[in-house]
Amino acid sequence: MRLNSFSIATMLVCSSLSLNAQDTRPVSAATAPLQTESRPSAISPEKSAKIDEMLTVTGTKSELSEVLSQGKTALKMFASRKVVVPGESLEKNKGISPEEKKLSEDYRAEINKIADTEFGIENLEAAMVRYCADNFSDENIDGIIAFYKSPAGKAMLEKGPALNHVAYDFMEKLKTRLGSETDQITTAYIEKRNVIHPPLIAEPAVTPKTAKPDTRTSTNREPETGADGDGPE
């Protein structure tokens, strides 16, 4: 039940991409209700309260809040980097016209408003409540709440995340050890295989020699001898 930050972040990214994707259906098809869609059943206030408690005691709500806060901060930082002169340094920089300053401030304010609105936990929490209502029975929810309120459940919340670090450290050590071990085994295998079936070593290609051009001048060039060696022909 406990969600990790990676899963939540992935869900947020996918949801964002889905919401921002362009609807390529014709207008009539895009606006007409789908025949296969059914109206979701209403969630009673009692069950909604139970689900909210479950999301709280399992630590899911706090993780959701943290991830949403990170997304909000990232979007605001994006806006700050896009302006010509970031944030508070506007007043300290010369050559910035009042018009340009106002344009940058309005831009940041608009993006910040989107970040504050879209990354509110209320939007995501409603989707989580809907999912839990459709997939967990009242007995499931009561059992999960009871477990995470018990000493065993609290211990799981406190010490469970450390299991990820244990697994990571184990895999890093295993990778190092197996890398050295498999290298030794592979080297021994190649040596034994070469004894049974020596590798074919191709003869190096012979590059034909070409005569070097005579760069000597006429004054220092040695006289050529004839065929009998007595002097020039």
- Whether 67 is covered by a domain: the verdict is yes
Residues 132 and 187 in one domain: no
| Chain segment 68-120, per-residue pLDDT in tens | 999 999 998 888 877 655 455 555 555 677 888 888 888 889 999 999 988 88
**Residue finishing a domain among 160, 184, 217:** 160
Residues 138 and 172 in one domain: no
Count, residues in the chain: 233
- Whether 33 is covered by a domain: the verdict is no
pTM above 0.75, yes or no: no
Residues 13 and 112 in one domain: yes
Residues 129 and 188 in one domain: no
Structurally, the chain folds into a number of domains equal to: 2
- Whether 227 is covered by a domain: the verdict is no
- Whether 211 is covered by a domain: the verdict is no
With H, G, I as helix, E, B as strand and everything else as coil, classify residue 225: coil
pLDDT of residue 189: 92
- Whether 224 is covered by a domain: the verdict is no
Residues 97 and 129 in one domain: yes
- Yes or no: say if 72 and 119 are a contact pair by the CB < 8 Å rule: yes
Residues 151 and 177 in one domain: no
- Whether 215 is covered by a domain: the verdict is no
- Yes or no: say if 11 and 64 are a contact pair by the CB < 8 Å rule: no
- Whether 187 is covered by a domain: the verdict is yes
Residues 106 and 187 in one domain: no
Backbone angles phi, psi at 40, to 5 degrees: -65, 145
Name which of 50-59, 115-124, 141-150, 195-204 the model is least confident about: 195-204
* For the ranges 7-11, 135-139, 199-203, the one whose mean pLDDT is highest: 135-139
Residues 104 and 188 in one domain: no
- Yes or no: say if 81 and 92 are a contact pair by the CB < 8 Å rule: no
Q: Which domain holds residue 177?
A: 162-196
Q: Give the residue carrying structure tokens 């010509």.
A: 84
**Chain mean pLDDT for the chain:** 75
- Whether 119 is covered by a domain: the verdict is yes
Residues 116 and 167 in one domain: no
Query: 224 pLDDT band (50/70/90 cuts)?
Result: low
Residues 84 and 120 in one domain: yes
Residues 68 and 170 in one domain: no
Residues 113 and 171 in one domain: no
**Residue finishing a domain among 102, 137, 160:** 160
